[in-house]
Amino acid sequence: MKKSWLAILISAMVLVTTILWLMNTKKPLSIPEISQYGVILVLVGLGVYVGISRLKSEKRGEPPEDELSKKILQKASSTAYYISLYMWLALAYMIDTQKLETHTVIGTGILGMAILFAVCWFFYKVRGMKDA
Amino acid sequence: MHNRIKELRARYNLTQDDLANKVKVRRETIVFLEKGKYNPSLKLAHDIAVTFDSKIEDVFLFGDEIPGSQ
């Protein structure tokens, strides 16, 4: 029960922080910034979805996580980490070629890792874990 | 790997929820098992076999044991 609420609580905290950040931004938003907010909203939505589906499982008397969900989480984490190494390499290359600022690169990298994890998790959730 | 979970579940008149509760996993795991999208751990395979009063090799079929393989 605690873990389910934790997912919702963290998502809510991220959402509140993003709203505060948005309210304190004085200059108009650029397209990359708008896309960053969009990505954060998608990730918050995913967090809430995971939390609510866990709560529903608990109400049905099912365990919130079992061996399949743990394996999906582990496989998604390792795959996302592996792919993110190439993403960071591409970002390091872009620092030189595109003259990107450090905070932009770090922000993009962190959001990119979060997106990669979400995509990998969804992929294994649909495809299953036949080879595990 | 092929399995006879769906067939045995029907024989024992169990729903996916019932089986999931008996072996303490989520219903989603039973769905994935029946579709052949997940190969269970030895413990889960054992628990499922015990639920159906069978041996693991009677529930889970490997390689040339699968009907229609060869």
Q: Which residues contact A126 (CB under 8 A, 6 or more apart)?
A: none
For tokens 């108009």, the residue is A28
Q: What does the alpha-carbon distance between residue B42 and residue B56 come to, in Å, rounded to a whole number? A: 9
- Specify if B46 maps to a domain: yes
Q: Which helix (H) or strand (E) holds B65?
A: none
| pLDDT tens string A6-47 | 888 888 888 898 888 888 877 777 777 788 888 888 888 888
* Backbone phi, psi, residue B60, to 5°: -110, 125
Residues of chain B with Cβ-Cβ distance to A66 below 8 Å are: 24-26, 29
**Which tens digits make up the pLDDT trace of A39-68?**
888 888 888 888 888 888 888 788 878 899
Residue B64 counted as domain residue: no
Query: What's the ipTM?
Result: 0.81
CA dist A118 and A68 (Å) reads: 17
Tell me how far apart the alpha carbons of residues B38 and A129 are, in angstroms, rounded to a whole number.
5
Q: How many domains does chain B have?
A: 1
Nearest chain B Cα distance for residue A118, angstroms: 19
Any domain includes B66: no
CB contact under 8 A, B17 and A60: yes
Segments forming the whole domain that contains residue B23: 2-57
Cα(A102)–Cα(A93) distance, rounded to whole angstroms?
Answer: 13
Structure tokens at B68: 């229609």
Mutate to test the interface with A, among B26, B32, B33, B47 (most CBs of A within 10 A): B26
Phi, psi dihedral angles at B45 (to 5 degrees): -60, -40
Task: Examine residue B62 and state whether it is found in any structural domain, yes or no.
Answer: no
CATH number at residue B53: 1.10.260.40
In a domain? residue B39: yes
Chain pair A-B, CB pairs under 8 angstroms: 47
Instruction: Please give the sequence-ordered ranges of beta strands (E in DSSP) within chain A, or none if there are none.
Output: none
Compare CB distances from B29 to A61, A68, A127 and report the shortest one's residue: A68
For A128, the token pair is 């299953």
B68 within some domain: no
Q: A67 and B35: CB-CB below 8 Å? A: no
The structure tokens listed for A47 are 């967090």
Question: B26, A67: Cβ pair inside 8 Å?
Answer: no
Neighbours of B21 (CB within 10 A): 18
Whether residue B1 contacts residue B62, with contact meaning beta carbons closer than 8 Å, is answered with: yes
In a domain, B20, yes or no: yes
Q: For every one of its 70 residues, what pLDDT tens digit does chain B have, with 9 covering 90 and above? A: 788 999 999 999 999 999 999 999 988 899 999 998 899 999 999 999 999 999 999 999 877 666 665 5
| Alpha-helical runs (H) found in B1-70 | 5-11, 16-23, 27-34, 42-51, 56-59
